[in-house]
Copies of this chain bind each other. A is one copy, B any other.
Amino acid sequence: MDSATCLALAARRGTVHALSVHYGQRHPRELRSARALARHFGAASHSVVRLPIGPLLDSALTQHRRTLTRRPGRSIPPTYVPARNTLFLALALGLAESRKARAIYFGANAVDYSGYPDCRPEFVRAFRRLARLATKTGVEGRPIAIRAPLLHRSKPDIVRLGERLRVPWALTWSCYEGGRRPCSTCDACRLRRRGFKGAHVRDPLDIAGTTP
């Protein structure tokens, strides 16, 4: 939902190059969605980088025996992947500089940042500074902008924005599991349901009506 809404925002501003990362998450379902969305919004390119770091990184998202459920009283969920957004943004930075892009769109949002350290405004600010210092374009006075337009939006807010931008929700995927239908019980499914419910919008993926 968040990436799709970011893509819709970026596509209104000019040429877009899409980037997806397959880093050993439990299923490639979300990559299929990414491809469909890149096509839908007319991305000039869609780079899928295979990053075989799953076995290296300690997380429930990359190690299949671990539980996805959040333990009560623990502020950072088990789905936290060490340095994941730093890595994604570093890849995006290299790609952006090579393609002479002027901005990177990053779909971090207010709901996520309550749990993940690398979705907080101070992380985005620190990466913006790093991007300016790390790159040739930054040194030459034309730093690549790091945009996080969803950072302070709630999930219902994102659904409302996506509706205005005509995001095809049927092409998106949120569930951490890779079944034919969303599991409806993982954290991602629950956040998604809260978003659609709060915005009074029907989720087209909610076929069975299990997510009222």
Contacts and interface: CB of A to CB of B under 8 A. Distances in A.
A207 interface: no
A87 B117 CA distance: 18
A-side binding surface: helix, strand, loop or mixed?
A: helix
A118 B138 CA distance: 11
B56 A47 contact: yes
B94 A81 contact: yes
Interface in A50-96: 50-53, 56-59, 76, 80-87, 89-91, 93-95
Contact of A95 (B52, B56, B90, B123): B56
Nearest to A55: B47
Contact of A98 (B51, B57, B85): B57
A136 B52 contact: no
Interface stretch (A3-11, A125-133, A158-166, A196-204): A125-133
A98 B82 contact: yes
Contacts of A133: 117-118, 120, 122-123, 126
Given A82-B95, A118-B133, 13 more contacts: A47-B56, A50-B52, A53-B91, A56-B98, A81-B94, A82-B94, A83-B93, A83-B97, A86-B130, A87-B90, A87-B91, A117-B133, A126-B133
